[in-house]
Amino acid sequence: MTYVVIDIETTGLSRYMHKITEIAAVRVNNGEVKDTFQSLVNPQTKIPSFITRLTGIDNELVKNAPLIHEVMPNFLKFLGDRIFVAHNASFDYGFLNYNVVNEIENARLCTRKLANRLLPDLPSKRLEVLCEHFKINNMQSHRAMGDALATTELLGHFFKMLEEKGFKHPEDILKFEKLSRRQILANEMKRSEIS
């Protein structure tokens, strides 16, 4: 299974009003990190102070960084046709898709949705909480590469859990992510009846 784990930092939560300040991606093949991509992005707008406090990214840091339209071709080449993975994938996908001419059509896998299905009793599914749960050391939380690497490690834990449930192939895992909790419980009951 080959996929790319992605994380972005932005000036806010709206893809229509706010801008990307950093993109990172980790290419993984059969559980092994093969390559990484990372770039700061000049958002051409003032970065709010609360974002700087959270990420450490300020206007000085990005003033000589490339613009988003300069970064996207290299990012898209790195992504290729591989599965697009992110924690809260609709956020990252939405921002990145908003900044391209042709829509990104890669299959998507969201580790937050997987967490909802695999760890329903964990009160929060935030990346920090999941890292603490699995004892993952995020070297630089709220920076794109730190979060992308932490998400990569998190996905490794999820793959082991999924394999125990009989979901091994990419198509099965992508289907599992879309199952409701009721469907997951029904599948588990069927499996226990068979074994």
Q: Is 18 a catalytic residue?
A: no
Give the domain range for residue 25: 2-194
Chain segment 59-104, per-residue pLDDT in tens? 999 999 999 999 999 999 999 999 999 999 999 999 999 999 899 9
pLDDT tens digit sequence for 135-165: 999 999 999 999 999 999 999 999 999 999 8
pTM for the model: 0.94
Q: What is the pLDDT of residue 52?
A: 97
What is the CATH classification number for the domain harbouring 188? 3.30.420.10
Q: What is the 3-state secondary structure (H, E, C) of the chain?
A: CEEEEEEEEECCCCCCCCCEEEEEEEEEECCEEEEEEEEECCCCCCCCHHHHHHHCCCHHHHCCCCCHHHHHHHHHHHHCCCEEEECCHHHHHHHHHHCCCCCCCCCEEEHHHHHHHHCCCCCCCCHHHHHHHHCCCCCCCCCHHHHHHHHHHHHHHHHHHHHHCCCCCHHHHHHHHHCCHHHHHHHHHHHHHHC
Which one of the listed residues 18, 69, 133, 142 is annotated catalytic?
142
The count of structural domains within the chain is 1
